[in-house]
Amino acid sequence: MAVLVTGGAGYIGSHTCVELLNAGFDIVMLDNFSNASPDVPRRVKELTGRDFPVYAADLLHAPGVNRVFGGHGIEAVIHFAGLKAVGESVYKPLEYYHNNVTGTLILLDAMRAAGCRRIVFSSSATVYGADNPIPYDETMPVSAAASPYGNTKVVIEGILRDLCDADDGWSAVPLRYFNPIGAHGSGMLGDSPRGIPNNLLPYIAQVAVGVREHLNVFGNDYPTPDGTCIRDYLHVTDLALGHLAALSYTAGHAGITPVNLGAGRGHSVFEVVAAFERAAGVKIPYKIAPRRTGDLPAFYADASKAERLLGWKAGRGIAEMCADSWNFIKNNPRGI
């Protein structure tokens, strides 16, 4: 079968493309390359020894999206494409709603026209908002997230739910994943954002190779053991394999099935810094900065549903995540 991967040149998308190709799937990659390098598809092809079509297209351009479906027999979609910086979304809510929600509506309309009704959606743990107790599980309400970025995920999950309710031919698995870090073991793929990184690990990695002078730690006065935010970190390759498991699930199940993908435990910012220092053998200088709007003190997953329904469980620990991140940044100090 052919699988369309939107945002396939991005961090999680590229690793998922590698695992899909290694598992024998044919893929079609779509990306507007606004936050990804055009060299990523070449690296994916080199790693897998497989070729595939690449469309430099934007989901907001409906004719272009429909053309992608026109000639490849696409049977399922894994949907990553979207703006993803929590902090930026607070200051650019209209841009985030337009890009993420409108782009998804255009994609779903193209899928419907092509008779393709299986989708794995890149959702987020941010849908659980500020009021649910941790660990988060899929039975909890997701009515209001802590940022516009998170709310776009809430809205899209609602759209998918309504679509599945209206047409029992659809199968949708929103994967609510937590904090992916790490890189491909080859050192050829990893988190390579343009500009100043919004996520912790690429920022630490850039400090480690001297691209940036120090790490900004946003708040050390949270109600956590060391005062810094606690997150559930999982290796990006584990996360990619979770998408394959969800894809298989859509083949035999109709309706919408939200699933958490996480390691099921949390690490603080300072714990991750210490783990990276051990992996790289370098010291990471840091400065305490004000809290960022939209950041929660702590969250981590109850990932038992993923193991029960999908047969998936995170297998790589924080030491391996940091070692692989270091291997990537050593080979690509300026990113891809």
What pTM, to 2 d.p., does this model score?
0.95
Question: Residue 23 falls within a domain, yes or no?
Answer: yes
Closest CA to 111 of 3, 252, 269: 3
Q: What is the CATH number of the domain that holds 139?
A: 3.40.50.720
Question: Residue 191 falls within a domain, yes or no?
Answer: no
Question: Residue 100 falls within a domain, yes or no?
Answer: yes
Per residue in 98-131, pLDDT (tens digit) is: 999 999 999 999 999 999 999 999 999 999 988 8
Residue 293 has pLDDT above 80, yes or no: no
Instruction: Say how far apart CA 68 and CA 53 lie, in whole Å.
Output: 10
Question: Residue 302 falls within a domain, yes or no?
Answer: no
Sign of CA dihedral 310, 312, 313, 314: negative
Q: What's residue 143's pLDDT?
A: 79
Q: Is residue 156 a contact partner of residue 115, using CB atoms and an 8 Å limit?
A: no
Question: Residue 52 falls within a domain, yes or no?
Answer: yes
β-pair partners for 118: 171
Question: Would you name the residues annotated as active-site residues?
Answer: 149
Q: Is residue 286 a contact partner of residue 246, using CB atoms and an 8 Å limit?
A: no
Per residue in 149-180, pLDDT (tens digit) is: 999 999 999 999 999 999 999 999 999 999 99
Question: Residue 122 falls within a domain, yes or no?
Answer: yes
Question: Residue 145 falls within a domain, yes or no?
Answer: yes
Total structural domains in the chain? 1
Residue 294 has pLDDT above 80, yes or no: no
For residue 251, the enclosing domain spans: 2-181+235-261
Question: Residue 136 falls within a domain, yes or no?
Answer: yes
